[in-house]
Amino acid sequence: LKIGDEILIRKAENNVRFLFPKNKEKYFSLLRKKFNWG
């Protein structure tokens, strides 16, 4: 991961907590696929 990606991911995580508290896990699984995590 590049540092810029890390910043974007943190922003995305904050948005997810605010907007999608119930769908958080689904959203993070999509993020992981996008960034090839795990």
Q: Where are the domains of the chain?
A: 3-35
Query: What is d(CA 3, CA 23) in angstroms, rounded to the nearest whole number?
Result: 26
Residue 20, pLDDT score: 59
pTM for the model: 0.37
φ, ψ of residue 36 to 5 degrees: the values are 55, 45
CA–CA dist 38, 30 (Å, integer): 11
**pLDDT, tens digit, 9 for 90 and up, residues 1-38:** 577 888 887 887 777 666 656 676 777 787 778 777 55
pLDDT of residue 19: 63
The pLDDT of residue 11 is: 85
